Amino acid sequence: MSFLTNKKFFVTGGTGSLGKALVARLLKLNAIPIVYSRDEGKQALNFQDLPPFTKIIGDIRDFGKLNTSLKIHKPDYIIHSAALKRIDDMEFHPDECIKTNINGSDNVARAAIENNIKKCILVSTDKACKPINVYGSSKFIAERIFTNYDFNSENTIFSSVRYGNVIASRGSFIPMFIDHIKKEKVLGLTSNEMTRFLFTLEDAVDVVLNSIENSLGGEVFVPQINSYTLPTCVKALEKLLDKKCETSVVGLRPGEKLHEDMLCETELPFTYEVDDTNLLQIRPQYSKKSYQNFTKYEGDHFNSKLWVKDNIDELLTLIKKGINNE
């Protein structure tokens, strides 16, 4: 990825799981990361094993501070990953979710235009596709905000990337499952039928960087990854830890889906495969851009129930890779 060399990347929310992995990769590829987050504790603790780089304490809710930071540091690209993400909590605090995930994303987009940023990419979620909860709805709107700004922007390219559950990340259920199995606690499963898309942090970083490289404006990028049922996840972890685990079915929590979607039926006519990657590209309906190296996607809509690959050994390999790369 030669386009990364000596380029400045402004990463909002850069102290989370994805942000930390992104910063490490950017430094390795001779890019220049700039982390912008409101968590000074994580800024101090999470990067001790990395070379020094710029860290800014700030909140995307504060347009003035955000805009000034961009004017001072003049980044080439923005990776917008800052968000409130706890699904059950957001059901009871929708106002806070709106302030960060919607208004904050709008602030990032406006500041990107004011500072002539080359490309600005939103890190979205599979929950933005056919949303049923506050978090997913806020990310769905954030995607539309970025697509709309792209339509009206002359110099800045906006796009989004959706993906599923990232193994070993803060938002993943895998670390919680591991903890319960190690402590021989009863593990509560929402349903034995529940499915989730799974991949690693390193894969997530690849998806974000490939999306930046291939974006022409307004698209939503979706990785083609496998999904697994919760019982298969438990069996793989039992094998990993060499322990048996008792489970119980607890039912759906507030805002939970039984199955996730990454690509819905109405998006299929506008979906293409990005050649030489595992990415799908959902193009904006208004797009008149000249696309190359893309093939029309002829597959079905991307639902975790339809894309289940319940191979325990394959999942075990994926989990080991995800944990080792944490």
- pLDDT tens-digit readout, 111-133: 999 999 999 999 999 999 999 99
Torsion of CA 202, 56, 10, 60, to 10 degrees: 100
| H helices, E strands: number in the chain | 11, 17
Q: What is the pTM of this model?
A: 0.94
Tokens of 122: 């939103």
| Residues paired with 268 in a beta bridge | none
Contacts of 44 (CB under 8 A, 6+ apart): none
φ and ψ of 151, to 5 deg: -60, -35
Residue 131 φ/ψ region, left for φ over 0, alpha for ψ in the -120 to 50 degree band, beta for the rest = beta
Tokens of 133: 């909860």
pLDDT at 201 over 80: yes
The class (CATH top level) of 2-164+200-224+264-299 is alpha beta
User: CA 311 to CA 314: how far, in whole Å?
Assistant: 5
CA angle 40, 22, 14 (to 5 degrees): 25
pLDDT at position 325 is 63
User: Percentage of the chain surpassing pLDDT 90?
Assistant: 79
pLDDT at position 212 is 95
pLDDT at 172 over 90: no
The SS3 assignment for 121 reads: strand
Query: What is the domain partition of the chain in residue ranges?
Result: 2-164+200-224+264-299
pLDDT at position 285 is 84
Catalytic residues, by residue number, are 127
Q: Average pLDDT in the 216-236 region?
A: 95
Q: Average pLDDT in the 208-236 region?
A: 95
pLDDT at 100 over 60: yes
